[in-house]
Structure 1
Amino acid sequence: MYGKHMNDICNRDLSECKDKLVQAIKRIQHEVDESREAESETYIDSVELEGQFDSLEREIRAEFGNLHRFLDEEECKDLERLKREQGRALKRLKERENDIYQQRKDLEKAVAVLNSKLAEEESSKMLKISGQICPAARGGQ
């Protein structure tokens, strides 16, 4: 009887241990299932996040591409304006150079005319003076 009683106790203890083990396995399985679900959700979140970052990167590249095009266009416009202004400034300077050249030529002519008149007057004065000094030089008197 003692053996049978021991068998019953062991069977009962074994049954209780088995039940506890089954309960523990169920809890662990539940945690494994939750872990799989969390892993799946995390993977989905990472794919979505990667997509968002890719989208932001495309937007940034597009925006900077637009800015580069805009700046290139502005650079071309500014360079064209600069060339036009340079052309106008060079034309004004060339016209001024021509005006100065013409003024110099006119002044040189004026100086030549004045020198010629001065030479005539001096020549005339010399003749008058020489006529007073030497009456014979004035017509043989």
Structure 2
Amino acid sequence: MAIPIAISAGLIGWASRIDLPERTAAEGRRIGRLIAIWSSIQGVAIFATFTLCPKLGIPDAAVPILAIIVGLHFLPLARGIPVQVYYATGLAMIAVGALALLLPPVDRYAATGIPCALILWASCGALIARGRRLMVA
């Protein structure tokens, strides 16, 4: 657990040093509402998943479905913020979740969690690199 936490903390620290693009107050409010709406929808879907999967006798499907939900949540954000890398992030997470559902139940957690962590770290790295290029330009 220490290694993934250290990687995540390092990426967050690195990202916090990058200046965000200039936005108007109205644009900031619009983006805030967009994130709030889609994060709320994501939260309800995740709650439903972890409530329904055990009742349906498929508890091991919850984590891959979680990956699909999180991936789906990136797609409207990619368009609305806009952050192009979120399209790749979302589609990759959807693919990981869908492929994990095809595996035996015992393999689903690792087959979902590890690739999703790598996808999110890569996305963060891509955003940091983009931010650094914009700072230099």
- Bigger CA radius of gyration: 1
Which of the two has greater helix per residue? 1
Same fold, judged at TM 0.5 (above): no
TM range (shorter): under 0.3
Name the TM-score, length of structure 2 as normaliser.
Answer: 0.24
Name the TM-score, length of structure 1 as normaliser.
Answer: 0.24
